[in-house]
Structure 1
């Protein structure tokens, strides 16, 4: 009988929106998380791993392997963003110290074993800097063809950056790695090209207090009210552990966006990318050849897409050009409320 599971291999820098994406994946029937590899980005790689272990245990999936890869970018110094995601990376959320341990394997070894043992069956999902993936491709240049597919959250195309005027966070943390990854995909068949979820579509995924309340109510956990005008630092009083984790993480993220006059919302970039990886999110796409600026101090980390073929180079990316935020949140509420009913 054919294996109908959707095998996913995650590389993350958890991160509030990475955490919400992981909760969604753990709640989605038919999804098999082969392993989670960790890179430095939102916080350091060891803290990322701790966050993933704790979230897995919260949701009853303690057996998933969590491995650390490179703890610094390929070439430039590491910069993290605790001001955006909190000192631990998951906002105000506090989870029990995980009982599980970080794998003894390096992230690159995890990726190589997964694609070699299951060629054409594993979809990669990268929601952090591309450091580990670049190292894995260095070790196995055929990795792009061995994967079933790849989804990347990163970049900004003809759209303002969220880290510099032109650069998105994940790419800016390690632009050299991103440049190597896109170069490795140039000229491959359409189905093998990475689906790139960039800011122009991921910033449309604006989570509001009403979405959090909807998860809580659908889970039978009562109301969960996040006050857009409330003081910073409030905590959830929910007895449901999943709802409280979600609420406390997203409250921090909403306060961050409010501080920068973006509204009391949370951009769930990685949740959308996860839904693309599972095949549950509809989207439109445009083929392009993508390159990444690594030299200019003014525009380092900028992702440049040639949609018109001016460079006379083969496409290396499928850039998401349209999505459906309402459908994303309907699915989020359904999946996360079910998870909260079971594990809350």
Structure 2
């Protein structure tokens, strides 16, 4: 196995859409990654942290630090809650998470090692905005932010940015180096029954992910899903699969809509991905998490 080359913090609203759990598994199965910790955001962040901790344990990473983060958005918008979060683990309330504050954890890890820590943010950007506000050097010190959010071919707002547009505006205006992957890319990739069967064979973590996927399918009355967040992880660990725009600026409207303007700025947008290869790489890395 290759030595890890990327020290990563995973910021997530795990528990609702199954893609967060899949992204965590991809990180665990990526030999390039030293997953340093996980922070949770949006709504019941303690429950989300307990779920992340349980899945990390199933993947052989019981010692992974998992710290609950911001419950409320910057302007206390209503939190969308599906209702099935954590329900597949009846004893989840016994799971112990790590003490501390997610924002303080992010600030400490990033600013104490300038240019050495990547942050993958796949939920509303509240924790990241708080970290930037608390420590202006955060945006300068983070090696790179890898964000799932926005839609750059349509004015329709995407969930993560729409849930906390004020936070998204802070993050994209911060000057941090950012790669953002929007719905126009992630919705081209689908995972279906064949993928789930392969994932289910990946030990206890794979079995748990199969149940989480099927729960999400039942919620939408579908038998497929788009792996938005794992795709974002792949832009970091397997960038040769993708093409990216030149650097520029992302603007976020009050409704969470997003636009990109190339030129002055440090943000680039993912512009293409091969759907079949991306899906296969997600499954391959999740299977590797059980090795």
Q: How many Å apart are 1:115 and its aligned residue?
A: 1.3
Where does residue 303 of structure 1 map in the other structure? Answer: 258
SS of 1:94's equivalent? Answer: coil
Would the aligned equivalents of 2:11 and 2:121 in 1 still touch at CA under 8 Å? yes
**Greater mean deviation of Cα atoms: 43-52 or 92-101:** 92-101
Asked if 1:27 is matched to 2:29, the reply is: yes
Q: How many residues align?
A: 286
Deviations 1:5-44 (A, max 9, x none): 310011100031110110111122131111111101xx52
In the TM superposition, 1:127-138 aligns within 5 A as 127-138=122-133
Deviations 1:173-214 (A, max 9, x none): 1000001111112xxxxxx52000110001122111111123
The reply to whether residue 179 of structure 1 matches residue 169 of structure 2 is yes
Question: What residue in structure 2 maps to residue 253 of structure 1?
Answer: 216
Please say which structure displays the higher CA radius of gyration: 1
Secondary structure of 1:50 counterpart: helix
Does residue 198 of structure 1 match 2:182?
yes
Judge conservation of contact 1:272–1:281 (CA < 8 Å) in 2: no
1:133-173 per-position Cα deviation (integer Å, ceiling 9, x unaligned): 0010001112122111110000011236xxxxx11111111
Matching residue of 1:168: 158
Distance 1:79 1:197, change over 3 A: same
Task: Report the Cα offset of residue 271 of structure 1.
Answer: 0.5
Q: Does structure 1 residue 241 correspond to structure 2 residue 200?
A: no
Moved more, 203-212 or 96-105: 96-105
Question: By how many angstroms is 1:80 displaced?
Answer: 1.8
Q: Is structure 2 residue 236 aligned with structure 1 residue 277?
A: yes
User: In 1, distance between residues paired with 2:89 and 2:142?
Assistant: 35
Contact 1:54 1:95 in 2 (8 A): no
Question: Using the alignment, how far apart are the partners of 2:39 and 2:56 within structure 1?
Answer: 13
Alignment of 1:32-111 (within 5 A): 32-40=34-42, 44-82=44-82, 86-88=83-85, 93-94=88-89, 97=92, 101-111=96-106
Q: Is the 8 A contact 2:200 2:207 kept in 1?
A: no
Alpha-carbon distance in structure 1 between the residues aligned to 2:152 and 2:266 = 14
- Give 1:99 deviation, angstroms: 5.9
Given that residues 145 and 179 in structure 2 are in contact (C-alpha distance below 8 angstroms), is that contact kept between their aligned partners in structure 1?
yes
Structure 1 residue runs without a partner (length 5+): 161-165, 186-191, 220-239, 295-299
TM-score (norm 2): 0.90
Corresponding residue of 1:289: 249
How far, CA to CA, are the matches of 1:157 and 1:107 in structure 2? 29
Paired with 1:153 and 1:125, the residues of 2 have a C-alpha distance of: 8
- Aligned equivalents of 1:98, 1:24: Cα separation in 2: 25
* 1:315 Cα deviation from its structure 2 partner: 2.3
| Aligned-residue RMSD, C-alpha | 2.2
* Residues 1:104 and 1:10: Cα distance change in structure 2 (over 3 Å): same
3-state DSSP class of the match of 1:171? Answer: helix
| Counterpart in the other structure of 2:148 | 153
- Which of 217, 225, 241 aligns to 1:266? It is 225
SS in 2 for 1:7: strand
Indicate the SS of the match to 1:264: coil
1:13 paired residue number? 13
